[in-house]
Each structure stands twice: as structure tokens, then as C-alpha cells.
Structure 1
Amino acid sequence: MTKKYVQVIAKFEENGALIPLQVLWEDGRVFEIDRVLDRRPGVSLKVGGQGIRYVCRILNKEVFLYYEEPRWFVESKV
């Protein structure tokens, strides 16, 4: 596993909450985030790094998306 930095389209709510909406992959694919299931401070035990861990539903799969200020990353297979 490796830390894969990705582009993310996100919005800020009135209360300051940061909500990811889409993940943009380096090959041009765009993945809509169907739903954010959980958001809390967390660490990636698989690839290292810490920040805000979002558990997102993308294409009916749960995906961990991390906001490690100022960048976003996912845990990716090499």
C-alpha cells in the first residue's frame, strides 16, 4: 500500500465543516462521493499520515479519504 495524493472537489458548510464531493484521479476519471458516512481525526495505519479521516461511499464501496492539510490522500495498492 502507498499514500496516493488526489485532487478533491469539496465545499465548506456554514459551520466550517469541510465536505468532499468528488475525487479526481490522475488519469482523468472523476468519482462522485455518494455519501460521507463518518468524519473524524484519524491516522492511516497502512501508509502513515494523519489528519481528518472521511469514510466515504463511492460506487457502493467504502473508501477512506484523508485530509492531511493542505492535501488529500487515499490508501492505494501499488
Structure 2
Amino acid sequence: MSQGLEKRSRCYVRVRCEIDADGSLTPIAVLWRPGRAYEITKVSRRESWPCLGTGRGTRFTVWFGGYQTYLWWDTNRWYVMSRPPRTAKEVVFTSSG
């Protein structure tokens, strides 16, 4: 399996995203832990994926600068199975917008 992702546990995260007129989600920033938010610089792929919790969801291939990882939307929660990027640009992430 790819880069040991199977040995890591889920980390539920807050995500700032845009919702298009057709209802599609596009993540733009991730809050890994309080005070540590990272700007998503590129979303290169969005695909249906059988998430463990509900059996359905979406997996996004996202980039934080030069760091690539997966971000999952499990129909009601976002999660990652990796550590926060070390070299990515941190952004301000507030609950109001």
C-alpha cells in the first residue's frame, strides 16, 4: 500500500470549502489542530471512494505547496490519514468564515 497510509489512523479535521452552484465541494483550507490551518494550493483529483464509516464518500487528492496527500469527505465529516505538512503555508482559520 502507498507510503504506509494503512498504518495511520484517521484524523478528523475542519475544512473550509467552496460549494459550487451544482453542489460540488472544493476544499480550500484544512485545520489540523487549533491554530494550525493550511491552504490547499491544488485539488488534482476528486473521486468516489468507499469510506470506512458509511461505505460511501469522496476522496480528494490535494496539495499544500509541494506536499501531496488525500482528504476524505465521508458524507458528514472530513478526515486525513497523514500528518500536517511541514512546509505548507499556514492561513488564518476562523469559525465565522
Which structure has more helix as a fraction of its residues?
2
Structure 2 counterpart of 1:28, from 28, 35, 60:
35
Question: Within the alignment, does 1:57 sit opposite 2:63 as a pair?
Answer: yes
User: Could you tell me the percent identity over the aligned residues?
Assistant: 31
Q: 1: CA distance between counterparts of 2:20 and 2:58?
A: 16
Range moving further from structure 2, 30-39 or 11-20? 11-20
- Secondary structure at the aligned position of 2:28 is classed as strand
- Secondary structure at the aligned position of 2:58 is classed as strand
Structure 2 counterpart of 1:68, from 68, 74, 79:
74
| Runs of 5+ consecutive residues of structure 2 not aligned to the other structure | 1-7, 84-97
- Secondary structure at the aligned position of 2:35 is classed as coil
Q: 2: CA distance between counterparts of 1:43 and 1:56?
A: 18
Aligned match of 1:19 = 26
Aligned match of 2:93 = none
Instruction: Tell which structure's C-alpha radius of gyration is larger.
Output: 2
TM-score using structure 2 length = 0.68
Quote the RMSD (CA, aligned, Å). 1.6
TM-score using structure 1 length = 0.84
